[in-house]
Every structure is written in structure tokens, then in C-alpha cells.
Amino acid sequence: MEPVLPPTRRFNTEETGRLDVLVARALSLSRNQAATLIAAGRVLVSGRTEKASFLAPLGTEVIVSVPVSEARELLPEDIAISVVFEDEEMLVVDKAAGMVVHPAPGNWTGTLVNALMGRGQALADGGGGDERAGLVHRLDKETSGLMIVAKTDRAHRILSKAISEKRIIRRYAALSWGHLTDDFISVDKAIARDPANRLRMAVKEAGRAAKTDFYRIARFMSTDLLRAHLHSGRTHQIRVHLSSIGHPVVGDDTYGGGGARRLVALPPKRQFLHAAWLRFSHPVTGVEVDLRSPLPADLRESLMTVSEMPELIAHPDPLEYLGFYRVEG
């Protein structure tokens, strides 16, 4: 019988800091739990064991072997999800707001991964353990829209490389408070974990490089409708970058955009951020895949409220009407 190996967690540090602190944040553990794993030799830093006090440089690869006794069994669940593209190699899901992407402490059930497992299909390993089976990229809990999932390790490898080489085009619809100073703004600011709150990210000079382009699609009384172009994929990137220039995402309680939610007809905890457009080459056939996700009902109602444009009601996709899917940029 083959030996049962402990599950592994892999991550690259998003800031410079003590190893025990970085492991604790990445795995949602206490600092003592992280230090125990390090002392037991279960943490490798660029292939070597280090002490808990080791200062890991930015971007360092860390591999953590979690003891089997501490691992949670992930169960398939019968949860309805919207699949907008699927073949033998991959699928694309239109994730609903409020759904957590992968299991973690506090959210072991009801996640997208649980739902994918419940479909009874093969999912790529991808080196991230069962919790991240098949995931090529992620969306925040309260962000809706298109997500790529790999069924085979081959597809996962090719798609992950395409993301890192910026060959997968991801466009987000965001409603921001106030008005940008121009119809186009590029925000090129490094992002790292906020040292004062591990649940937040922040613009930090010593963080990982991050760049987002923002194109104003429409200007309303107190908000702008933006098309956000990701050049990198840092945690909370769009939200952090917009907050850093004084125009947070409408409804974003974490980064200063949650006020006056009722004025824009947003439900509690909802932020106006939607992964609306994906373009990429199929990982095996090379055929171009172009997928679009119209605004879900809650964001559409909010757009009707802030735009005061009755003609949007009759259009099946207000984003298309407003020119969101223009190819330039």
C-alpha cells in the first residue's frame, strides 16, 4: 500500500516578515500553531528549513506540510452553480456573490470547491491540495462573475502560466464613489498584507508589484462605472487600488466604500464588483474563448438607481449598452 502523505500548502510571501507570522497569516493559524509546524520541520522556505524568527524576503516560496490529524476532509455538496463553458479540460463558472471560493477555517462547507466536487467530476490538483482543487484564480466572497476551473493537471499548468504571463484577459465592472480625474487612470502600486489587520491588504512600497488600469465607462451623479483591467492578480487588488486613490468600490465595507449603501440600492455586504469579461486561448485547442457575464440582478438594480437612465431597463445587458465590451485598451 502506498504511504499516505500529509497535504501540502504552497504560497509565495506577499511581504517581508517573520516566518511564523507569514505562515500563520497564509494558513489562518495562530502564531503558536505556525511556530509548532516550523519547529517540527514541516515548513520549507525555498526548499530549506528555517527558524520561526527567520525573515523571509518578499516573494519567497513557502511549502507547509500539514499533519493528517489537522487536515479536514472535504465533502462534495449538492450546490447549484452556473457553468457557462465546459469541456473535457476545463470549465468556467459564473460565481454568485456571497459564495466563498475554497474551504478554509470558518468556511469548510458551502464553497465553490464543495460545489464542484458535488458535480462528481475530476478536478486538477494544481499543487494546492483539495481545498483549491481545479482553481486557476479566485474571486472575493462578495465579488460575482467569471472564474476558470481546470479539470486536468495539463489544463491547470497551461492556464496558470497564461495568467502569470498576462495572456488571460480579465475585465471587471466596478462602481466607484466620486469621479476619477480622467477617463483613464493607471494605478501602479505594490500591495502587501496590512500589518494592522491580516484580513486586509494595503498599498506598501515593500509589497508585491500590482498594476490596474481603470477606464471610465459612464459618469453618474456621485459615482463612476469603471472597467478594470488587471495586469497582476494580488488579493483585493482592484478594491485596494481604488481605495488608495480616494474612490473605493461602492459597497466595500473593508476599504471605505460601504457608506450610503441604501442610496445605491445595494443589499447588505454586497460590493459593486463583477468579473464580467474573460478572453483567453483554450489550453489545449488554442481556440479563442470569449465569455461575458451580464450584471446580476442586484447590481443591475443598483446601476438603474445611480444612472437614472430608464433606457437601461429594456436592455438585456446594460454593460453592452454602455460600451463596456469595447476591445481597445
Say which CATH topology domain 8-68 has: 3.10.290
The question of whether 125 is a catalytic residue gets the answer no
CATH 3.40.140.10 assigned to domain 82-164? The reply is no
The ranges assigned to domains in the chain are: 8-68, 82-164, 169-275+304-321
**82-164 and 169-275+304-321 in the same fold:** yes
Which range, 100-114, 164-178, 253-267, has the best average confidence (pLDDT)?
Answer: 164-178
Question: What homologous superfamily is domain 169-275+304-321 in, according to CATH?
Answer: Pseudouridine synthase (3.30.2350.10)
Residues in the chain: 329
- List Cβ neighbours of 180 (8 Å cut-off, separation of 6 or more): 214, 216, 224, 226, 245, 247
What mean pLDDT do residues 203-224 have? 95
The model's pTM is: 0.79
3-class DSSP state of 196: coil
What CA dihedral angle connects 158, 164, 170 and 175, to 10 degrees?
150
Residue of 248, 225, 226, 238 lying closest to 177 (CA atoms): 248
Residue of 192, 183, 184, 226 lying closest to 210 (CA atoms): 192
Of the residues 20, 140, 224, 252, which is catalytic?
A: 140
Tens of pLDDT, residues 121-174: 889 986 555 556 789 999 999 999 999 999 999 999 999 999 989 999 999 999
